[in-house]
């Protein structure tokens, strides 16, 4: 468990942040200047807070009232930054081994060979950082952080400087760390797509304060919490299982409590779990079950709530057999259809809202907006 309760001022900027998370990957989410990097530096011990307490799995790192402040080199926290920050004069092997120096031999739980194999960097060990691509540098930086055998891994926008192809390489590695190695991770991002794919819990920051925190599925349905440029990417996260594949049309059938959902095929075996993100703006609301329609995903449900915004939009929360799906439509459509809480409806989602990418771990909708991991 991660417990954070901090107050700190840096010049004109102040942080007042408190949250608790027991998730495997906690995302610090918010626009530039919201305090994400400052907060992660406070957790790492790079900044000493004016007041507060930090605790990781029962280990108190900071308690200003008790006069406790464990120095950063004794916190057993691994860090990965936007830029890899490798030592340019050292080989990849030496950079990796540097991470082990700060951990007593009796407390090491990861071995060099295992990390090299996991990251696929065996052929790079004798190279200098100047001979590495951006994605290779980040792999090495992740390896160095892991070989410190940390209690907690902090990742400060590790994909921000990478192109889409390199991001596709690194994302599955972070998923593997989250699911297999099970080191608690705090991950800084301003991307809804990354947060939806990776996070178990989200802490939303704005102007140095926590606006909301909780499970990722709850936060992504709060479009008001998302930066203006990312609100179109919010929606529902639906946990599904692969029911089967339709080879004739290169599609995959997913099973969920809401009903079957068809998406473009990805290389996932039957019975495997898939997290599906459905953007609110991709969901159409119908009063009657549509006929003669090209959309293949038609899910019955009831209206749970309607929220009218200041502009032309309305957010309609749909309860599809316990699966909460959000639809963003116009207020005019809401009035024309006579929508109100409790009304039976159908949620309609086009299959082509999802577009297969090069990774077998994820399925995004157009412009990387919906995700299956």
Query: Using one digit for the tens of pLDDT, what is the confidence trace for 5-58?
Result: 999 998 899 999 999 998 899 999 988 889 999 999 999 999 999 999 999 999
Instruction: Phi first, then psi: give them for residue 53, nearest 5 degrees.
Output: -145, 140
Cβ-in-10-Å burial (0-12, 13-18, 19+) of 337 comes to: middle
Question: SS3 sequence, 190-233?
Answer: CCHHHHHHHCCEEEEEECCEEEEEEEHHHHCCCHHHCCHHHHHH
pLDDT tier for residue 106 given thresholds of 50, 70 and 90: confident
Check pLDDT > 60 for residue 3.
yes
Rounded CA-CA distance 306/233 in Å is 19
Quick one: 2-219 is in which CATH superfamily? P-loop containing nucleotide triphosphate hydrolases (3.40.50.300)
Q: What digits encode the pLDDT tens for the residues 334-357?
A: 999 999 999 999 999 998 887 533
The CA-based diameter of the chain, rounded to the nearest angstrom, is 70
Q: Is the pLDDT of residue 114 over 70?
A: yes
What would the mean pLDDT of 245-256 be, rounded to a whole number? 93
pLDDT, greater one: 366 or 110: 110
CA–CA distance, 125 with 272 (Å, rounded to integer): 35
pLDDT at residue 361, as a whole number: 41
DSSP string, 311-346: SSEEEEEEEETTEEEEEEEEHHHHHHHT--TT-EEE
3-state secondary structure 6-22: EEEEECCEEEEEEEEEC
Q: Give the global pTM.
A: 0.85
| Closest to 217 in 3D by CA, of 156, 276, 290 | 276
pLDDT tens readout for residues 87-105: 999 999 999 998 787 788 8
Report the distance separating Cα 95 and Cα 173, nearest Å: 19
Band of pLDDT at residue 311, cut at 50, 70 and 90:
confident
Using a pLDDT cut of 90, give the percent of the chain over it.
65
Stronger pLDDT, 325 or 372, i.e. the higher one: 325
Domain boundaries 235-372, corresponding CATH code: 2.40.50.100
Phi, psi of 349 (to 5 degrees): -130, 125
Give CA–CA dist 196/240, Å, rounded.
15
In this prediction, residue 352 carries a pLDDT of 85
Query: Beta strand pairing status for 25-29 and 51-56?
Result: unpaired
Name the residue ranges covered by the structural domains of the chain: 2-219, 235-372
Q: Which two tokens stand for residue 84?
A: 């890899």
List the beta bridge partners of residue 283: 349
Report whether pLDDT(367) > 60.
no
Compute the distance between CA of residue 301 and CA of residue 321 in angstroms, rounded to an integer.
6
Site of tokens 């099973």: 255
Q: Is 206 left (phi over 0), alpha (psi -120 to 50) or beta?
A: beta
- Averaged pLDDT score across all residues of the chain: 89
């Amino acid at each position: 468990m991660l417990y954070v309760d901090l107050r700190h001022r840096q010049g004109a900027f102040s942080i007042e942040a408190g949250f608790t998370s027991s998730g495997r990957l906690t995302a610090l989410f918010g626009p530039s200047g919201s305090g994400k990097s400052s907060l992660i530096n406070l957790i790492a011990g790079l900044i000493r807070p004016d007041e507060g307490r930090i605790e990781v799995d029962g280990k108190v790192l900071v308690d200003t009232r008790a006069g406790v402040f464990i120095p950063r080199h004794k916190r057993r926290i691994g860090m990965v930054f936007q830029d890899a920050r490798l030592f340019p004069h050292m080989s990849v092997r030496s950079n990796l081994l540097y991470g082990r120096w700060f951990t007593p031999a009796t407390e090491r739980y990861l071995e060099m060979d295992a990390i090299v194999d996991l990251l696929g960097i065996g052929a790079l060990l004798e190279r200098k950082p100047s001979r590495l691509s951006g994605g290779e540098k980040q792999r090495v930086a992740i390896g160095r952080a892991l070989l410190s055998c940390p209690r907690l891994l902090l990742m400060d926008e590790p994909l921000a400087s990478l192109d889409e192809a390199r991001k596709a390489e690194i994302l599955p590695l972070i998923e593997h760390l989250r699911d297999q190695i099970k080191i608690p991770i705090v991950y800084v991002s301003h991307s809804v797509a990354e947060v939806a794919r990776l996070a178990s819990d989200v802490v939303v920051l704005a102007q140095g304060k926590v606006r909301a925190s909780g499970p990722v599925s709850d936060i992504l349905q709060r479009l008001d919490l998302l930066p203006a440029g990312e609100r179109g990417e919010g929606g529902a996260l639906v946990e599904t299982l692969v029911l089967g594949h339709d080879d004739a049309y290169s599609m995959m059938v997913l099973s969920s409590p809401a009903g079957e959902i068809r998406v473009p095929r990805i290389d996932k075996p039957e019975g495997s779990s898939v997290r599906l993100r459905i953007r609110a703006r991709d969901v159409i609301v119908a009063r009657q079950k549509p006929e003669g329609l090209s959309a293949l995903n038609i899910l019955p449900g009831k209206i749970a709530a309607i929220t009218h915004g200041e502009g032309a939009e309305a957010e309609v929360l749909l309860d599809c057999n316990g699966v909460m799906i959000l639809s963003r439509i116009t207020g005019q459509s809401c009035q024309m259809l006579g929508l109100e809480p409790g009304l039976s409806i159908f949620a309609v989602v086009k299959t082509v809202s999802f577009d297969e990418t090069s990774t077998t771990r994820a399925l995004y909708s157009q412009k990387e907006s919906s995700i299956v991991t």
